[in-house]
Amino acid sequence: MNKPFVFHSLAEADTLRLGSALADVLPRGSIVGLAGTLGAGKTRLVQAVASASGIDVRTVVSPTYLILQEYQGKRTIFHFDLYRLRDEDEYLELGPEEYFERSDLTFLEWADRFEQLLPEDRLDISVVIVEKNQRDFQFTPHGEKYTSVIDNLQTRLAS
């Protein structure tokens, strides 16, 4: 595991900027695991990436009750919410590996619940509430591909 990168979002505009930068640097076939408490901003980050990918943000909602949403834009985004899954068997019944093998973007909210079943190569993002509108996004790359993503993201956010 590599050294994490932390992005401090002081307002929603910062989260939108982060999502836009992330949309630019994530290569096709990226798998992103999201963790954080209820209301931390996991879905908001996916909305920001989707918006930057040409997807109407109003269609991007937490898939808690549906478990999986698919959004079409410049590229397809698959958005899982693993919160309501009972166990590993229920997770595996979803066939997540089929999505992981595609050249689309896959986001998994509550990925930490099934971390042992996730691909070794992925990007983990933990969202922490600092204050009412402030969040810390901690990025942990797993694999060389995602180490480069973090390097590119840092460069993009600095400009």
Q: Which tens digits make up the pLDDT trace of 13-51?
A: 999 999 999 999 999 999 999 999 998 999 999 999 999
Task: Provide the CATH number for the domain around residue 64.
Answer: 3.40.50.300
CB 109 within 8 A of CB 100: no
Q: How many domains does the chain have?
A: 1
Query: 117 pLDDT exceeds 70?
Result: yes
130 pLDDT band, cuts 50/70/90, is very high
Q: Is the entire prediction scored with pTM above 0.95?
A: no
CB 62 within 8 A of CB 43: yes
Give strand ranges (E) for 47-157. Answer: 68-71, 77-81, 105-109, 122-131, 134-142
CB 50 within 8 A of CB 60: yes
Query: 1 pLDDT exceeds 70?
Result: no
Find the Cα–Cα–Cα–Cα dihedral 81, 82, 83, 86, rounded to 10°. Answer: 150
- Overall average pLDDT of the 97-106 stretch: 86
Sheet holding 105-109, edge to edge: 5-9, 134-142, 122-131, 31-35, 105-109, 77-81, 68-71
Range of the domain at 133: 5-158
